Amino acid sequence: MSKTKVQKNEEITKYKESIANAKAIYFVKPTKVTANDSTKLKLLLSKSKAKFNVVKNTLFTKAMNETLPDVKLGDTLFVKGEHAVVFANDDVTSSAKILNDFAKESKKLEILSGIYGKKMIGKESVMEIATLPSYEVMLSKTLATFMAPVSSFVRVNNSIIQNFVFALKAISEKK
């Protein structure tokens, strides 16, 4: 049964909201993805506050053109066949990592391209984002880098005091 114009407009509105709220959008081609696979992927992505949607090509293209008119989807994307979109709302790297791992593991999903920073990115860029460490890991590495000079200073000062105490102990043992 075909959808009415009102239902189509509601769906376009939902797509527009998702596009506007997403920090990154990844386009995938699900081939032979079962309902169980889709549910598993949605569950994994929900942990990083991302959404996986199989979209209607024409409706999604219309929503994209209205929401991000500067981003050109290209002639081959969303032309023929089933397509899905992952909206990364919070952690861009972890959702790309989950998507990449699922694609490698199941062999039923092909990553096509994406949008990051309101610019179209290719498959290679999505793969690069997937290999980046998560926000928490990068934050801890940065903090460790900032703390390294301070902890070195404390160790050096501690060793001076420790050597002084050893010298005093040696002098007291000699007397």
Q: What local confidence, expressed as pLDDT, does residue 56 receive?
A: 87
Q: Is the pLDDT of residue 100 over 70?
A: yes
Cβ proximity of 90 and 23 under 8 Å: yes
CATH code of residue 69: 3.30.70.1730
- Residue 29 domain boundaries: 5-132
Res. 76 pLDDT band, cuts 50 70 90: low
171 and 137 in a single domain? The answer is yes
Lowest pLDDT segment from 3-12, 29-38, 42-51, 70-79: 70-79
pLDDT digits (tens, 9 = 90+) for 35-61: 898 899 999 999 888 999 988 888 888
Statement to judge: residues 113 and 156 lie in one domain: no
Q: Do 83 and 11 have their domain in common?
A: yes
Do 89 and 138 sit in the same domain of this protein?
no
**What is the total count of domains within the chain?**
2
Whether residues 137 and 127 share a domain: the answer is no
Q: How far apart are CA 72 and CA 69, in angstroms?
A: 7
**DSSP assignment string, 120-152:** EEEHHHHHHHHHSPPHHHHHHHHHHHHHHHHHH
Q: Are residues 153 and 90 in the same domain?
A: no
The answer to whether residues 31 and 63 belong to one domain is yes
pLDDT bucket at 147, cuts 50 / 70 / 90: confident
Higher-confidence residue of 65 and 2: namely 65
| Mean pLDDT value of segment 10-24 | 91
Q: Tell me, yes or no, whether 88 and 158 share the same domain.
A: no
